[in-house]
């Protein structure tokens, strides 16, 4: 691992805070000072805006003391048009300036940000989602090899009004998280189990409907366009997942999967909830039909025989 780029104005004593806040697997790529007691920290996972001192938490794109921002939210980093010692960029469609930077640090910082933006997909953040909720998703639900694609505030029909519900969409799964005063509930959905995706757009709010075998899940009271956005993200991931499965199946049919028992594959998929009971029964039926029938050829006359009969049906000679 290469050493991080340390910009002007950074002191060794600051490493204690940075090391404490770093997530598992997160690598520090660059640290740049701007303003007074403020730092941009570029990591392998996040763009971090560290403002030392007191703060009030706001929405995910607002400032905080040590606030992670996914690169999927960031666009167009550049030198400010009216302040050549400042960087400006768009965070969740809001232009933010980082002023009073060292002139030598600016091009290096911009290059690092652009590189990380190019390597991760865009992230969609719903209304009223806070930095705290985003961090909880990263720490509790997101694995090191997946990307967070969307976070939305939702409500659930016939569910407790004493809980807050959030929908997290990643490159590998969907998570519904319910936060109450005394409990936390988490339900995960596999893309392979979703039969159909729908969205509804109202005058004020939107809904997302996921169709599964035997039941539907309705996520209500999202932002006006958020149901449509969430549906598009999920549909894209379903398509990608199916394409990946198709490619693996095609490779396996001629290569490394030749010796795998198809019955065990079907049983494993059913156990994981990837296929319904009806689909499981149909696959079993298709598998049974595809199995070749065992026969014995009579060495005397060449006739085909059932191996359980013991004698040739044509000439009567005992089968070997």
Domain boundaries defined on the chain = 5-120, 131-250, 255-290
The pLDDT score that the predictor gives to residue 308 is 60
Q: Are 80 and 32 in contact (CB under 8 A)?
A: no
The pLDDT score that the predictor gives to residue 309 is 62
**Other C-beta atoms lying within 10 Å of the C-beta of residue 255:** 8
134: its two tokens: 């985003």
The pLDDT score that the predictor gives to residue 125 is 79
Task: Name the burial class of residue 130, with classes exposed (0-12), middle (13-18) and buried (19+) by CB atoms within 10 angstroms of its CB.
Answer: middle
**From residue 272, how far is each of 209, 243, 282, 285 by CA, in Å?**
22, 19, 17, 20
The pLDDT score that the predictor gives to residue 296 is 64
DSSP per-residue codes, 137-194: HHHHT--TT--EEEEEEEEETTS-TTSEEEEEEESS-EEEEEE-SS-EEEEEE-GGG-
The pLDDT score that the predictor gives to residue 259 is 45
**If one looks up domain 131-250 in CATH, what number appears?**
2.30.29.30
Task: Indicate if 131-250 has the same CATH topology as 5-120.
Answer: yes
Q: HEC states along 31-55?
A: EEEECCCEEEEEECCCEEEEECCCC
19: its two tokens: 């090391």
The pLDDT score that the predictor gives to residue 103 is 94
Q: For every one of its 320 residues, what pLDDT tens digit does the chain have, with 9 covering 90 and above?
A: 578 899 888 888 888 888 887 776 778 999 999 988 889 999 887 888 888 754 433 434 444 567 778 787 788 999 999 999 999 998 877 899 999 999 999 999 999 999 998 887 777 878 777 766 766 776 677 776 788 888 898 887 656 566 778 899 999 899 888 876 555 678 889 998 999 999 988 888 889 999 998 889 999 888 888 999 999 999 999 998 877 654 443 333 333 333 456 677 777 776 666 677 777 777 777 766 655 455 666 666 666 666 666 666 666 667 66
The pLDDT score that the predictor gives to residue 23 is 72
Q: Are 55 and 68 in contact (CB under 8 A)?
A: no
Written out in words, the top-level CATH class of the domain with range 5-120 is mainly beta
For the chain, give the number of residues: 320
Greatest Cα pair distance, the chain, in angstroms, is 101
C-alpha angle 199-200-205 in degrees, rounded to nearest 5 = 120
226: its two tokens: 């958020």
* Distance, CA of 60 to CA of 15 (rounded, Å): 24
* Distance, CA of 292 to CA of 239 (rounded, Å): 33
Tell me how far apart the terminal alpha carbons of the chain are, to the nearest angstrom. Answer: 67
Task: Name the burial class of residue 126, with classes exposed (0-12), middle (13-18) and buried (19+) by CB atoms within 10 angstroms of its CB.
Answer: buried
């Amino acid at each position: 691992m290469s050493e991080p780029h340390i910009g002007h104005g950074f002191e060794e004593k600051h490493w204690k805070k940075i090391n404490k806040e770093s997530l598992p697997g997160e690598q520090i790529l660059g640290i740049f000072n701007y303003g007074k007691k403020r730092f941009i920290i570029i990591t392998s996972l996040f763009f971090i805006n560290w403002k030392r001192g007191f703060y009030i938490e706001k929405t995910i794109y607002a400032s905080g003391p040590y606030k992670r921002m996914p690169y999927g939210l960031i666009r167009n980093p550049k030198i400010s048009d009216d302040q050549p010692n400042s960087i400006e960029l768009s965070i969740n469609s809001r232009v933010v300036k980082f002023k009073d930077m060292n002139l030598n640090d600016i091009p290096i910082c911009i290059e690092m940000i652009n590189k990380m933006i190019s390597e991760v997909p865009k992230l969609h953040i719903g209304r009223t989602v806070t930095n705290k909720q985003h961090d909880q998703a990263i720490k509790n639900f997101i694995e090191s090899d997946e990307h967070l694609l969307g976070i939305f505030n939702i409500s659930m029909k016939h569910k407790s009004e004493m809980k807050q519900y959030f929908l997290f969409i990643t490159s590998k799964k969907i998570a519904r998280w319910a936060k109450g005063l005394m409990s936390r509930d988490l339900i995960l959905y596999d893309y392979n189990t979703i039969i159909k995706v729908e969205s509804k757009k109202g005058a004020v709010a939107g809904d997302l409907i996921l169709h599964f075998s035997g039941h539907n899940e309705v996520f209500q009271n999202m932002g006006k366009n958020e149901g449509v956005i969430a549906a598009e993200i999920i549909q894209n991931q379903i398509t990608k997942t199916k394409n990946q499965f198709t490619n693996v199946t095609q490779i396996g049919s001629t290569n490394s999967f030749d010796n795998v028992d198809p019955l065990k594959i079907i049983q494993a998929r059913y156990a994981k909830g990837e296929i319904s009971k009806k689909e499981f029964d149909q696959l079993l039926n298709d598998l049974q039909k595809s199995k070749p029938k065992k026969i014995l050829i009579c060495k005397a006359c060449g006739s085909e025989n059932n191996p359980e009969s013991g004698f040739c049906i044509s000439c009567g000679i005992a089968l070997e």
